[in-house]
Structure 1
Amino acid sequence: MVQYNPKDWITFIFRFHKSDTFRQLIPMMIFIGLYTYGVGYLEIVYWKMSEKSHLSNITIMHNMLGFVISLLLVFRTNTAYDRWWEGRKLWGSLVNNSRNLAIKLSVILKEESDRLYFKKLIPGYASILSKHLTNDETSKQLFTDVDLEIDHHKHKPNQIAKMLFQKVNDLYDQKKITGDQLIILNGEVQSFTEICGACERIKNTPIPYSYSAFIKK
């Protein structure tokens, strides 16, 4: 995958990728250009045809080109909508999984202190993930009474997921939950990391380089 800045139009226009369509078609384009130049020269200079030359209809090419560009823009819009919709579904999954985890813990846990910890940590994951995806470096400490100090030099959502699993594992070591309950809760915590990875994939995967370069040219 080629990493690039999609807003850098000037660079796109004058850059020729090794697998670019323009590079492969340039011999044929040169041939067609020379052929049309020859026809135009014969019609205007050599044959000296009427004042209303067939070359006066050359603007039809621009009308056809506008139609092709409109199709490319439609494909580009559909791609952007697909990316938005996939992100929307992932965020909805995070909401549902957070609710499922909270409901299961509220039934399994008996001590209020353990419930309070997860009550603050579960929504904390969504908050940290949102800041992580938008490159927001604020809010090192989410809550004053829960140790959620975030190291900004490391993967922040993974740090919250680690705290969640660490707490669940501690509850198992303290015999507050059974092995079967540990397996159930582990699946919910694991889904957080999977959603995070899918969101990062959408964020870090631009429109294919060749397609973006082609539409800009």
Structure 2
Amino acid sequence: MIQYNPKDWITFIFRFHKSDTFRQLIPMMLTIGLYSYGVAYLEIEYWKLSDNHHLKNLTIMHGLVSFVISLLLVFRTNTAYDRWWEGRKHWGALVNNSRNLALKLSAYLKDENDRVYFRKLIPSYASMLQKHLTDEETALMLIEGLDLEIDHHKHRPNQIAKMLFQKANALYTSNKITGDQFIIINAELQSFTDICGACERIKNTPIPYSYSSFIKKFIFIYIMTLPFGYVFSLGYYTIPVVVFIFYVLASLELIAEEIEDPFGQDANDLPTAKIAANIKKHVEEII
């Protein structure tokens, strides 16, 4: 995730980050510019259409549908940001629950072997969840010094959660913790799976195809018809105007596409690897 100063306007205006939509849209902007020039040349130089031609009335259509396309893009970006923010809240909950579990186990456990086991296994859940959500391949040995037999053909976070619960249950049956203590730590253990399921729901449920496809087609038709009407009032100045309108509309759609899956490797996705590393650091400090 990009770190920045939100008050530094000059940097925002004159710096083009590699994730900036301007860079991604340059080829299409050039194409749209050439297309607009072709339309302007045909209407002004070749066909020599008069100011009373019916094509001039296309601007009325653009004025009517501009409100509709604005509503669609606002809903699109808000929906995408809600998914991004929900993902951030779940990973924040994972941080807090990992700390709470570590704090309680630190007070309950006296055997150093048990403390070492949880010291290594609790952070491994966050690390495995991060890799699971980004579809990365992991080695069979996740943590050095801790023998974790992970079957990568099965659900990897569930296997870590199973080992955590089995160990907690073994502590209870061996009378190392009481029944009340087992019930208390069970809430944190259960929350790990709840968080995993919520993150999977975000990742595996994209915006419906028909809706996303309709917005792209709507933007395309809107932009392709803009030069025909505005050439009468703007002449060749239609070219930069159409290119700028395309940049604004397409950028909103690109931003929404990027943040609707917050667990990828894009510049604006959540720093889940960093959060997992912080969990490891905090748990090791506590236990």
- Are 2:78 and 1:78 equivalent residues in the alignment? yes
In structure 1, the residue matched to 2:167 is 167
- Are 2:208 and 1:208 equivalent residues in the alignment? yes
Q: Secondary structure at the match of 1:202?
A: helix
In structure 2, the residue matched to 1:120 is 120
- Are 2:173 and 1:141 equivalent residues in the alignment? no
In structure 2, the residue matched to 1:195 is 195
The sequence identity of aligned pairs, in percent, is 75
Could you tell me which runs of 5 or more consecutive residues in structure 2 were left unpaired when the two chains were aligned: 1-49, 218-287
Cα distance per residue 1:137-187 (max 9 Å; x no partner): 123312232111311100000000000001011111111111111111111
1:175-194 correspondence to structure 2 within 5 Å: 175-194=175-194
Deviates more, 1:142-151 or 1:189-198: 142-151
The count of corresponding residues between Structure 1 and Structure 2 is 168
**C-alpha distance in 1, partners of 2:124/2:170?**
19
Deviates more, 1:81-90 or 1:64-73: 64-73
Q: Secondary structure at the match of 1:203?
A: helix
Distance 1:54 1:175, change over 3 A: same
- Are 2:95 and 1:109 equivalent residues in the alignment? no
1:55 positional shift:
5.1
In structure 2, the residue matched to 1:17 is none
Give the TM-score of the pair, scaled to structure 1: 0.72
**C-alpha distance in 1, partners of 2:51/2:90?**
64
1:78 positional shift:
0.6
1:51 positional shift:
7.8
**C-alpha distance in 2, partners of 1:168/1:65?**
60
1:53 positional shift:
4.6
Q: What is the letter of the counterpart of residue 142 of structure 2?
A: L
1:103 positional shift:
0.2
Q: Secondary structure at the match of 1:150?
A: coil
Deviates more, 1:69-78 or 1:158-167: 69-78
Give the TM-score of the pair, scaled to structure 2: 0.55
Q: Secondary structure at the match of 2:153?
A: coil
1:59 positional shift:
2.8
**C-alpha distance in 2, partners of 1:136/1:92?**
22
In structure 1, the residue matched to 2:68 is 68
Deviates more, 1:92-101 or 1:68-77: 68-77
The structure showing larger relative contact order (alpha-carbon pairs under 8 Å, at least 6 residues apart) is 2
1:123 positional shift:
0.5
Distance 1:161 1:52, change over 3 A: same
Could you tell me which runs of 5 or more consecutive residues in structure 1 were left unpaired when the two chains were aligned: 1-49
State the structure with more CA Rg.
Answer: 1
Cα distance per residue 1:189-213 (max 9 Å; x no partner): 0110000000000001111233223
State the Cα RMSD in Å: 1.8
Distance 1:51 1:187, change over 3 A: closer
